[in-house]
Amino acid sequence: MTTASGGPRPWLPPPHLTEILLTWFSIGIQSFGGGSTTLYLIRQACITRGWLTDAEFAKNWALVQISPGINLIKITAVIGHQLRGWPGLLAAICGLLLPSAMITVLMTAGFVIIRDWPFVKAAMRGVIPATIGISVGLGIQMAQAPLGRARRAGRVSVGAHLALLAGSALLFATAHASPVVVLALAGSSGMLLLGDPAAAIRRTVRRALGRPAR
């Protein structure tokens, strides 16, 4: 079993493929209320079992944002591969998709019958704000790990993290910018505010030339 960065995690035995399959099967069964609910369940399952830390999960979530496709499927694939390689990836994907696909087909058939009932309409109106609340709560939880590291690094790092967080939210919500644009701008800003561009370029050149990085 490896960490999110690919390093060994010797204190934990790798989970059995059956455990991975059943874990994501359970997540698939409980995935009501949209993507935020599913993401919360995946995060809780990984952290409570010791498969990932908060910081590793946040790093994985950031990674899947910068590639095309459905983010929940991508993060499931990434975590499954980290846990048990390609067999783990397949087990996690199958566990996530099979129950949700079956339940969706059954619920769609039943919903056609009851969708015009007044209490069903009222219930659906109540679900919408709840899903928004779940999204906000999940965002707060996921922000704790990077903000905690920023706090340890100092006030400048905290200010930069908060500026990136607020700026990205405003750009996405008010300017309706593409997520690709928001992430590209945040990455560029992060290099300037949180990194040492000159040192990073030197390390890249040294690696390309086969020299040890300082």
pLDDT of res. 5: 45
Helix (H) or strand (E) holding 164: helix 155-174
- Mean pLDDT value of segment 67-87: 92
Closest CA to 142 of 51, 50, 62, 31: 62
Closest CA to 96 of 39, 145, 158: 39
Task: Give tens-digit pLDDT for 16-53.
Answer: 999 999 999 999 888 776 677 888 899 999 999 999 98
In this predicted model, which residue has the larger pLDDT, 204 or 144? 144
Quote the CA–CA distance of 98 and 76 in Å, as a whole number: 13
Helix (H) or strand (E) holding 102: helix 71-114
Grade residue 11 by pLDDT with cuts at 50, 70 and 90: low
